[in-house]
Structure 1
Amino acid sequence: MNLTLSEQYDFVPRFFRLAIANIVSNLMIPLAGLISVAFLGHLKDIDALAGVSIANILFGLVYLILEFLRMGTTGLTAQAVGADDQEAVLLVGLRNALIGLVLGIAVLILQYPLREIGFSVLSGEVTIKAAGIEYYNARIWGSPAVLLNFVLIGWLLGREENSKVLVLSIIGNAANIILDYVFIIQWGWNSMGAGASQASSQYLMLLIGIILASQKIQWQEVRAVMPKIINLSALKNTLSLNRDIMIRTITEVSVFAFISNLGAMMGTVIFTQNSLLGQVAQLNVYLTNGLGFATETLSGNFKGSESKGKFLPLLRVSVASSLFIGISIATISVLFPQQVFGILTNHTEITGTIDAYIWCLCFLLVFNSIASMLEGYYLGLAEGKIVRNVSLIAATFGFVPSAIAAFYFHNNYILWLAIILFMFTKMVTMLVYLPKSLSFDADVDSRSLTAVEN
């Protein structure tokens, strides 16, 4: 059945409601770390601040890799909602919560080797390392709550319960501020207090989240699906999707870690310039990821309801919105480079020549804006293999050759070319897969829901 133009685009208000909720929620993530840094930064002893900064790198890496729990939950939940299958909706949440709980316990069991490996790589002075370990030892106990919150937020986003996601983000950060003040300022726990604050606020967030999520669920429904949670075939499909997303994340983390290390080898000025340009790119990522998460929810919903006629309109709206953000940030950076980067540093040896690389940043922002939307689209369809293969292809053929040349010639322009080619290859490869995904039939539609059915 052909849809009218108004029917094709009737999702637009839903898209922007989801996008706003996701963007605000995303911005809460760096805010949580900044809160602890702000409190510690006003203490006389600077070692606590430095130690927490080092430990935060380790936690950021671990949780980034495990964020597949959120990505893998949203798309399947949205598909089940679109198919009006309440049992499947519950099973997606419960199965991924089980996986998250097992992984959270595994992190606790492996906390000592993780700590030793992490702090041996992220070296620092003895007093700084000691402060970082105190923070790590306290915060690590919040890992099960963090991973369950990934699942919970992904599940709520798949159900388009945006207001609840915002409430959780606000509660988590408000609790973190209050507990930071009590533990660090009042009780003098310093870095240990910062870690305890983050762990405690995550458990509070989880408790409130469970209460909010259960408001529309009957206990009888949960009890009815409990025997179906441990279904080996369904668990295998769920784990397969999560595995593919994790491989994608590890690939991209490795690429950007190599970029950072290679930039550091080129000297302090170049490394700092790349870091400042990276901060602008990171702002674009936080904003466009919010749009990507909205795309993920709606593409999954449309797949579940077999509304494939809305896929192309969704991509038009999401890509146009993302490009608007990316081009706006790029334009401001091109027109006002000294003002933009002057906010981040007052060292003229850094800002004086940074505009030589701004055009590189512009290409990166444009390609990333498109790639992020396409990735959200495929995640909504639960096409983990596509997302995985695209990242591996982009790293192998887009990034590695230029990265080797950048290392050999010790040239930052070639390094930026490697970054741009990685994102360009990722974008183009996703576009190659697009025609097939836009034309699948109802039989293909039903495949991904085998991850949540008997």
Structure 2
Amino acid sequence: MESSFKIVHLETYKNRCLEFFNFPSFSWRFLRLASINILSNLMVPIAGLLSITFLGHLQDIHHLAGVTLATIIFNYLYRALGFLRTSTTGITAQGMGRKDSQDVLLVLLKNGLLALSLGLIILLLQYPLRWIGFNLVSAAPLVKASAQAYYDTRILGAPAALLNFVLIGWFLGKEQSSKVLWLSIIGNGANVILDYLLIIRWGLDSSGAGLATSLSQIIMCLVGVLFVSLDINWNEVKQIVQKISFEQWKGNLMLNRDLFIRTLILLSAFSLFTNVSSAMGTLVLAENSVLLQVFSLVVYFIDGLAFATESLAGNFKGQGIKKQLIPLLKFSGSLSFILALISVSVLILFPKTLFGLLTNHTEIYPYLISHVIWLLPVLGFGSIAFILDGYFIGLAEGVMLRNTAFGSTFIGFVPVAIIAWHYNNSNLLWLALSLFMATRVLLLGLKVPKTLDNL
């Protein structure tokens, strides 16, 4: 009785706090999801940093260089297939909003089978993919040999890696971020332990690093499947399998197709930024790479807010509560913008201290200090763009996301990037990236009213 009183009293206190600060009613729910998502996201760079540390302490540096080279191929491949997570989150959240357990299970089955199929195709095509990937990059023979050894063992985990995208998307859609956090801890923790055993203790070098990643992905997948098996009704699964129709598959594939195209376009924009930086010289490439690393680190935090936006936007759509969508955008967008603003402000105020943690090449400090101001518009507009992305992903608006990706890349980014390349001007290149983010905000923002009409 006393416990029930405390719970009611706590809820009353929360509600009064929300009213006092004029926060929307879902604020605590949003903040809980976002905070767990951020913790989960941060496990990835921490595990990556520890893996690099193990490789960096080997006698031969070409193992570290080779793994870095091969990772580019996997980053492009897996990021391009990241639609498996985003499409799963949106549809699952909508099913949860409607309290339609069959739809929630159906998206897991459909996208799970798609992920496994794509993973098996990657395994079948691993040698052609390796030939294409390593012919697009240039490196010394020893570096390339280490890169190929890493590739050969890491590619074995492709089916598990893609299925993990679906499992994470499904748990996010169900607002079970704590399970995502546990998966991240288990997967990345296993990766670090296996890295130590395979690289340091057993001397497998770059092939050991790839095998450690594959095994950790498989362990993470098995734990995720265990979580699912404890969460679902198996009799209901049998009934749903019998009801799957071609039309259901078609709609699912169309959404995944649009999100895949959108992801490829956005990846291509950042690849073009890196290629133009490279054309301006090694020094400019190194300088811009450091600034992009800072950008990526801040995005790990912002993505936590964007994932929470996906979950709640889909849930609200499923319930038909469109009056909550604009408050959600305002709340998450404000938090994201404030986070970006604080991050850039700290960099501007203490540039040498923070950049010193990323590089000891003091010759590029003057460039970094003079160009760090560009992170203000890039992250300022980007913080809103990522939240709008999360909003439309939650609503499963694949066509809108695909079309705005086209527009922001080929209208906002490419023309100015070409001019920057022609004049060999890094400031113009950062202007292109700023316009890219601003155009995404504009095009997505203009589509928001249409989503409210459709509910």
Report the counterpart of residue 5 of structure 2 in structure 1. Answer: none
Q: Structure 1, residues 390-425: CA drift from partner, whole Å, max 9, x if none? A: 110011111121112112111111111111111111
Measured after TM superposition, the shift of residue 435 of structure 1 is 1.5
How far apart, in 1, do the equivalents of 2:344 and 2:93 lie? 33
Matches within 5 A, 1:16-415: 16-229=31-244, 231-415=245-429
Q: Which deviates more from structure 2 when the two are superposed, residues 308-317 or residues 211-220?
A: 211-220
User: Contact 2:47/2:189 (CA < 8 Å) preserved in 1?
Assistant: no
SS at match of 2:175: coil
TM-score (structure 1 length as normaliser) = 0.93
SS at match of 1:346: coil
Q: Which deviates more from structure 2 when the two are superposed, residues 364-373 or residues 45-54?
A: 45-54
Q: Structure 1, residues 299-333: CA drift from partner, whole Å, max 9, x if none? A: 00000011111101111110011011100011112
SS at match of 1:352: helix
User: Contact 1:79/1:300 (CA < 8 Å) preserved in 2?
Assistant: yes
User: Contact 1:172/1:205 (CA < 8 Å) preserved in 2?
Assistant: yes
Measured after TM superposition, the shift of residue 186 of structure 1 is 2.0
User: Contact 2:119/2:158 (CA < 8 Å) preserved in 1?
Assistant: yes
Measured after TM superposition, the shift of residue 275 of structure 1 is 1.2
How far apart, in 2, do the equivalents of 1:260 and 1:178 lie? 33
How far apart, in 2, do the equivalents of 1:375 and 1:247 lie? 14
How far apart, in 2, do the equivalents of 1:356 and 1:39 lie? 34
Q: Quick one: which amino acid aligns to residue 438 of structure 1?
A: L
How far apart, in 2, do the equivalents of 1:275 and 1:196 lie? 28
Measured after TM superposition, the shift of residue 8 of structure 1 is 8.4
Q: Give the root-mean-square deviation of aligned CA atoms.
A: 1.6
Number of equivalences: 437
Measured after TM superposition, the shift of residue 198 of structure 1 is 0.7
Measured after TM superposition, the shift of residue 436 of structure 1 is 1.7
User: Contact 1:295/1:373 (CA < 8 Å) preserved in 2?
Assistant: yes
TM-score (structure 2 length as normaliser) = 0.93
SS at match of 1:160: coil
Structure 1, unpaired ranges of 5+: 442-454
Measured after TM superposition, the shift of residue 248 of structure 1 is 1.0
User: Contact 1:8/1:309 (CA < 8 Å) preserved in 2?
Assistant: no
SS at match of 1:123: coil
User: Contact 2:378/2:434 (CA < 8 Å) preserved in 1?
Assistant: yes
How far apart, in 1, do the equivalents of 2:211 and 2:372 lie? 40
Matches within 5 A, 1:423-438: 423-438=437-452
How far apart, in 1, do the equivalents of 2:356 and 2:201 lie? 35
Q: Quick one: which amino acid aligns to residue 420 of structure 2?
A: A
Q: Structure 1, residues 196-253: CA drift from partner, whole Å, max 9, x if none? A: 1111111111111111122121211111111234x21111111111111111111111
How far apart, in 1, do the equivalents of 2:67 and 2:363 lie? 28
Q: Structure 1, residues 138-181: CA drift from partner, whole Å, max 9, x if none? A: 11010000000000010011011111111111111121122112
User: Contact 2:280/2:421 (CA < 8 Å) preserved in 1?
Assistant: no
| Percent of aligned pairs sharing the same letter | 48
SS at match of 2:138: coil
Q: Which deviates more from structure 2 when the two are superposed, residues 115-124 or residues 310-319?
A: 115-124
How far apart, in 1, do the equivalents of 2:248 and 2:46 lie? 37
Measured after TM superposition, the shift of residue 365 of structure 1 is 0.7
Matches within 5 A, 1:431-446: 431-441=445-455
User: Contact 1:73/1:158 (CA < 8 Å) preserved in 2?
Assistant: yes
How far apart, in 2, do the equivalents of 1:176 and 1:355 lie? 35
Measured after TM superposition, the shift of residue 347 of structure 1 is 2.4
The answer to whether structure 1 residue 13 and structure 2 residue 13 are counterparts is no
SS at match of 1:37: helix
